[in-house]
A = this chain, B = another copy of it.
Amino acid sequence: MTVTMEDVAREAGVSRALVSIVFRDVEGASTATRERVREVADRLGYRPDQRARQLGRRRTRLVGVTYAVHLPFHGELVEALYAAAAPTGWDVMLSPVTARRDETTAVESLLDHRCEAVVLLGPSLPSRALDLLFARVPTVVVARSVPRRTVQVVRTDDAAGARAATEHLRSLGHRRIALVDGGRAPGAAERRRGYRAAMRAGGLDDVALVPGGPTEHDGEAAGEALLATSPRPTAVLAFNDDCAMGLLNTVRGAGVRVPSDLSVVGYDDTAVAGLRAVSLTTVGQDPDALAHLAVTRAIALAEGDAASAEQVVPPHLVVRSTTAPPP
């Protein structure tokens, strides 16, 4: 049916081992033979079978990735992960977590394929489960901090991000700055810390935490809560861009002008934030840096390197048009 290494070897008049040498690109074949084998392989349409390769090699060079299929930011990370893995010779295997496919299933499926390391994007597994997982396979957690950690963590310095955003608002003259909290979402605790620290450092004690979450829906609810508070804050830092969008839609629907009545800052610098008609001031994470660190770390762990410390990537404030001095 499908053409194997055997076919190529026969057709080229060499041994299977030789074809293997050529395709692994290791030394042990003359240039002339190399060319002939490649030519024959191309002619027959031969492509090495990855599974057989992995099995024979006695390792997979596969890093498994779990991610939330509906989060745009995870999409960006996935793109960056593939880009980061490409030059290493390692392969990426995706395992989505959805409403109907939980994180455990996603991870197990990666292990069943014998991934040598796994990268979890913003996992919601309890940190005990992460420790257990780490005992089974080198694990790198991205975009979430894990307290008493054994797993590797690669994340944005969310405290710094929230601090920068808060300071930006304060420097515009705002004093009543609210934070739409992310609850138990990855990064929420750090953002809270950064916000609090900046408020304190700025001499602002009107710390206002509005319950929220990572979805546009959470943003809507937070928007309504915000409209009901009095005195109403003049600026708000939303947990992320999606949340900010929901909030924006809600408060604008109630006649609040942004940014003249209310300044809004998002988080993540998602694609929507950059649209001219939205132009959301936000805190950008660096997916490429995060992804690069994550695969580098994952591969290093799989190669037997000792665990290193948590790695933190600095965020950057992107000032657009949803922030202005208070009324």
Point out residues on A near B: beta carbons under 8 Å: 2, 47-52, 54-55, 60, 69-70, 72, 75-76, 78-79, 82-83, 91, 93-96, 98-101, 108-109, 111-114, 216-217, 220, 223, 245-246, 249-250, 253, 271-272, 275-278
For A47, the chain B residues whose CB sits under 8 A away are: 108, 111-112
CB contact between A277 and one of B72, B75, B223 (< 8 Å): that residue: B223
CB contact between A96 and one of B82, B112, B114, B249 (< 8 Å): that residue: B82
Q: For the complex, would chain A's binding face be called helix, strand, loop or mixed by DSSP majority? A: helix
| Contacting pair B246 A216 (CB below 8 A) | no
A250 and chain B: residue at smallest CB distance: B277
| Contacting pair B52 A78 (CB below 8 A) | no
For A249, the chain B residues whose CB sits under 8 A away are: 275, 277-278
A274 and chain B: residue at smallest CB distance: B217
What are 17 A-B residue pairs whose CB atoms fall within 8 Å in the complex? A2-B114, A47-B112, A49-B112, A49-B114, A51-B51, A70-B79, A72-B72, A78-B96, A79-B96, A79-B99, A79-B101, A82-B101, A94-B94, A216-B271, A216-B272, A220-B275, A250-B276
| Contacting pair B83 A100 (CB below 8 A) | yes
Per the bound structure, the CA–CA distance linking A55 and B114 in Å amounts to 14
Per the bound structure, the CA–CA distance linking A48 and B276 in Å amounts to 52
For A101, the chain B residues whose CB sits under 8 A away are: 79, 82-83
